[in-house]
Amino acid sequence: MSAVDDACALLATLTDAEAVGVWSAPGRVNLIGEHTDYNEGFVLPFAIEHRTVAAVALRDDDVVRVASTFAQAPVEVDLADLDAAIARGGLDWAAYPLGVAWALRSAAPDASPRGVDIALASDVPVGAGLSSSAAIEGAVAGALNDVWAAGLDRVALARVGRTAENDAVGAPTGIMDQMASMLGEADAATFLDCRTLEAHEVDLGFTAAGLRILVIDTLVAHAHSSGGYAERRASCEEGARIMGVAALRDLDVADLPRAQELMDDVTFRRVRHIVTENQRVLDTVATLAAEGPRAIGGLLVASHASMRDDFEISVPELDLAVDTALAAGAVGARMTGGGFGGAAIALIDAELVESAASAVSAAFAEAGFRAPRTFTVAPSRGAARDA
């Protein structure tokens, strides 16, 4: 069964009411630009074909009830109690969809909230750095935007998703994931200025070049609301304070010698990653346009080295995945996502995908690591109403 079928089947177990619609939103792969988003910098993600689906039915009361194929029991909150429920916390997975309902109501005061049943199903891998959370947020935001007649555009809905993630879930992430999930287009990435939220499509040209993106999910779970992510963000804010700028976006590579003089080693290395990663995003966009996708491999490799050595968010499994993919012929490879686990990506010729995946599996077995999951993804459409 597809995720659409699963969501509709789950909805049928919740209510006898007819579904008023089905909405979906994708996960994403970040091609390059890691941890730059909350520093008001640049990112280059693309939406993938793996999606979360929300099937919705109307209720005759003011209860929002959410259920999913990946949780044991439905969770319900009366609209009148939604603020208090979010403030109390403890909602576990339901903080994502209920957080969206809470944030959307604030973002669209002229909307007409009403009770709904929302059934969720997903084929976005969880914990792999492919933004399964933004896929949930995008599907629910799109559904409630229509059902509640909120009238918000895609950028506003991305903001709703970020508010839910930051304030309801407690994960101090930027807006990249939500924007990628909302704005994705087939065979293109979204170049996003995270300060202005200006975005435009960037043709990737992978298919024409005979290239694929191989995802290597290490199955090492990570959680953005845990301490490592928050610590990195705090270091970036401290670095900006020391340099007297609003955000690290305002620094460039020429500022790094001065930064090194003023900062302790750890703070400086965190800052160096962000500053050089912003430049790598800009260089990747320019290189894709001028030379095509085969010319960006070195930028991907340099990004991984920076995350490994300066930002210190890689793990041995990710490093082994990257090194093995490169040895197997990948054009470039890097970890993707927030780090501390999750997935790596490899840009690789289509005919080498199978052998590279086998090489990675063999390397993991030899190292005594859990067997990874490998699969390819393609740049795909963003959030949409499906039925």
131 or 349, higher pLDDT: 349
Q: Are 339 and 316 in contact (CB under 8 A)?
A: no
Average confidence (pLDDT) over 35-61: 97
Residue 310 is among the residues annotated as catalytic for this protein: no
pLDDT higher than threshold 90 for residue 181: yes
Per-residue confidence (pLDDT) for residue 197, from 0 to 100: 93
Taking the C-alpha atoms of residue 133 and residue 86, their distance in angstroms, rounded to an integer, is 17
Region 301-325: mean pLDDT is 98
Query: Is the pLDDT reported for residue 85 higher than 50?
Result: yes
- Compute the distance between CA of residue 143 and CA of residue 130 in angstroms, rounded to an integer: 21
Average pLDDT over residues 45-68: 98
Helix (H) or strand (E) segment spanning residue 45: strand 42-58
Angle at the Cα of 334 from the Cα atoms of 328 and 335, rounded to 5 degrees: 120
**What is the rounded average pLDDT of the residues 123-137?**
88
126 vs 3, higher pLDDT? 3
Burial of 265 (0-12, 13-18, 19+ CB in 10 A): exposed
- Give pLDDT, residue 134: 96
Of 21, 26, 104, nearest to 55 (Cα)? 21
Task: Identify the band that residue 248 occupies on the pLDDT scale cut at 50, 70 and 90.
Answer: very high
Residue 116's Cα: distance from chain center in Å? 26
Return the pLDDT at 225. 46
- Is the pLDDT at 70 greater than 80? The verdict is yes
> What pLDDT, on the 0 to 100 scale, is given for residue 221?
81
pLDDT reading at 127 higher than 90: no
pLDDT in tens, 331-386: 999 999 888 998 999 999 999 999 999 999 999 999 999 999 999 999 999 999 99
For residue 320, is it left (φ>0), alpha (ψ between -120 and 50) or beta? Answer: alpha
CATH numbers and ranges of domains, the chain: 3-202 (3.30.230.10), 204-377 (3.30.70.890)
| Interatomic CA distance for residues 123 and 111, integer angstroms | 30
Asked if 323 contacts 346 with a C-beta cutoff of 8 angstroms, the reply is no
- Residue 112 has a CB neighbour count (10 Å cut-off) of 9
Q: Output the pTM of the full model.
A: 0.92
Of 117, 177, 217, 310, the active-site residue reads 177
Please state, rounded to an integer, the average pLDDT across all residues of the chain: 95
Which range has the worst mean pLDDT, 127-141, 221-235, 285-299, 373-387? Answer: 221-235
Whether the Cβ atoms of residue 114 and residue 105 lie closer than 8 Å to each other: no
Q: How many CB atoms lie within 10 A of CB 382?
A: 24
Checking if the pLDDT of 131 tops 50, the result is yes
The mean pLDDT value for 268-288 works out to 98
pLDDT digits (tens, 9 = 90+) for 188-242: 999 999 999 999 999 999 999 999 999 999 999 865 545 688 899 999 999 999 9
Task: Give the C-alpha separation, 387 to 381, whole Å.
Answer: 16
Mean pLDDT across 37-54: 97
pLDDT score recorded for residue 226: 57
Interatomic CA distance for residues 259 and 279, integer angstroms: 17
CA distance 144 to 56: 9
